[in-house]
Structure 1
Amino acid sequence: MKLNPLVSATVIVLCLLCPRLVSAQDAPVNKDGKILGTGGVSSVSGAGGGGLIPWATLSSYADAGQRGGSLFRTRVDVDAYQLDIDGGALTFGNRMELSFARQNLLVKPANLHVRQDKTGIKVRVLGDIIFDKAPQITLGAERGSLRDKGLARAVGAQHTSGTDYTISFAKAWLNGIARRTTLLNVNVRYGNANQFGLLGYGGDDQDVKWTAEFAAAVFLTRQLVVGMEYRQKPDNLGALREDNAHDLFLAYFPDKRVSLTAAWVDLGEIAGARNQQGMYLSAQITF
């Protein structure tokens, strides 16, 4: 199967980031627990990470032998659409994450609501984001199922449910850019979700595609993080263009129990509505 150029470039970057792979069992133990903010926040799919994409991080600060979780609420408000998301995640040890999100999309011009449920799983298979020379690597799956199917069928989606698969790589450097903690995350995704699945799955162009996703963040202080994300999207619906998405975010972690995130997002063209830009706001509690 031929990869697109962005995915090919991603593979090259991953090879440079992975001079050697160390098993998670051999990684050094952080006796003081995880560092504030390195668990990220909650993505639009419910999985731990950034806002637009999951990261290789897990959603709580649970370490080996511990359990943890998170609850969140997010709003994305752009010109023609408003997306509200409620969800949460559970983590088991520093190994596995199970997540759930209920998405409610408002199509403003038509006063139409589209609801979707997302369930996900991530498993950390190698490395540690800070305490290992190799990046932290997770394998993930996200299952989406539309509760309101009419719009997806109207735009020509092949399915009203589907599953995306991801492999994620993340590494944090404590003495990174400007001597600040710096984090880089790269995902490779295999799936067919149209506009995060809200317009169904698959289409008349191609059913399943490889896409790439990136995130970078810098800790301005121990509690304040600035960064960006980029998400390539499959563009399966021949009659409706689907642009890639990106954001610029600012996240505040007053402690390990609370995080607040604000971002400017650019979702591109959605179902014929061009230049969908606006605000992303999210609050999360972690336990």
Structure 2
Amino acid sequence: MKKIIPALIAVLACGGAAAASPDMGKLLATGGVSQVEGAGGGGITPWALISGYGTRDSWGANAHYTYVGTQDYKLNSYGVAVGIADRLELSLANQEFKGSLAPLDQLNIKQDILGLKLKVAGDAVYEQDSWMPQVAIGIMYKRNKGIGGLGALGVTNVKQLGAKDDHGYDYYVSATKIYLEQSLLLNATLRATRANQMGILGFGGDKNDSTRLMPEVSAAYLINRKLALGAEYRRKPHNLGVDNEKAYYDVFVAWFPTRNFSVTAAYADLGDITIFNPKKQHGLYLSLQAGF
């Protein structure tokens, strides 16, 4: 964080010289889509790419809505992201997690996520003759807003499920390489986290309360200029006795009809979520993004 803040100030200072309106100058799809926590990237993992289509002399912004539905749960996420000078990204997202099967059919958990990402090296598009990927560092501050629907059981806070905190930070570094000639994108992210189910079930727990490094990987193939096919994997910690947390993964199709709009559809597998509905959760992932 100490290294990010001075860089943030420098980028904002340079932003005064940037174009007053977005120039939409980046290649189609190179801003990624809105990751479920609000950052630019794939569906479940951030990439080193900066949100929006503004070039280094401009800026861009987008808004997203994402729905994930499994047999027993529903997740809605919506938020906004701003990319400045193709170097800095600021994002804000809200997640709402609901149960649909007894005994958790009244479950309702909300979480706010504030994100900051800074490109520190490389350029995924313009440095095609270099082995160096685009590299970005990021931080997400997450605050869980409590548990609704379980008041009759005396449960209103994630700490009552064994979590140590209802707020926490994720730190990550992402490396993204685009091979234009092969129409291929590869990404690797290493995340330091204590979050249980992204923070929906709090941070830390009765089994573990230390920050641990979790790998995440993505690959996408551009079928044509407007359609991409890809897959992602995200390893998760297992901190709670009541949550046999497993890795996330998905297979997705992303459609970019214009620079102003994109649609991402996926099959997502979220593993086990709590011992109260002890079965693997999988289903539809759908995300809409509008921007300029």
Calculate the TM-score normalised by the size of structure 1. 0.86
Tell me the C-alpha RMSD between the 2 structures: 1.4
In the TM superposition, what is the alpha-carbon distance from 1:239 to its structure 2 partner? 3.8
Deviations 1:235-274 (A, max 9, x none): 1113421000000000000011100010000000001232
Structure 2: distance between partners of 1:62 and 1:91: 7
Q: Which amino acid aligns with 1:172?
A: I
Deviations 1:98-125 (A, max 9, x none): 0000111111122211000001000000
Equivalent in the alignment of 1:50: 42
Percent identical pairs in the alignment equals: 40
Counterpart of 2:143 (choices 142, 145, 150) is 145
In the TM superposition, what is the alpha-carbon distance from 1:193 to its structure 2 partner? 0.6
Structure 1: distance between partners of 2:83 and 2:244: 37
CA contact (8 A) 1:44 1:51 kept: yes
Q: Does 1:65 align with 2:57?
A: yes
Equivalent in the alignment of 2:115: 120
Q: Which amino acid aligns with 1:96?
A: L
Equivalent in the alignment of 2:280: 275
Q: Does 1:284 align with 2:289?
A: yes
Q: Does 1:242 align with 2:245?
A: yes
Structure 1: distance between partners of 2:290 and 2:250: 22
TM superposition outliers: structure 1 runs of 4+ over 3 Å: none
In the TM superposition, what is the alpha-carbon distance from 1:32 to its structure 2 partner? 9.3
Equivalent in the alignment of 2:19: none
Q: Which amino acid aligns with 1:228?
A: A
Q: 1:154 to 1:169 in 2, by over 3 A?
A: same
Structure 2: distance between partners of 1:139 and 1:253: 26
In structure 2, the gaps of 5 or more residues are: 1-22, 148-155
Calculate the TM-score normalised by the size of structure 2. 0.84
Equivalent in the alignment of 1:200: 202
Q: Which amino acid aligns with 1:145?
A: R
Deviations 1:46-95 (A, max 9, x none): 01101111111111111112111110001000111100111010111011
List aligned pairs for 1:1-287, cutoff 5 A: 33-109=25-101, 110-132=105-127, 133=130, 134-149=132-147, 150-176=156-182, 181-207=183-209, 208-272=211-275, 273=277, 274-287=279-292
CA contact (8 A) 1:151 1:199 kept: no
Aligned pairs, number: 253
In the TM superposition, what is the alpha-carbon distance from 1:154 to its structure 2 partner? 2.8
CA contact (8 A) 2:265 2:286 kept: yes
In the TM superposition, what is the alpha-carbon distance from 1:44 to its structure 2 partner? 0.9
Structure 1: distance between partners of 2:146 and 2:45: 23
Using the TM superposition, name which of 201-210 and 216-225 deviates more.
201-210
Using the TM superposition, name which of 245-254 and 145-154 deviates more.
145-154
Q: Which amino acid aligns with 1:138?
A: A
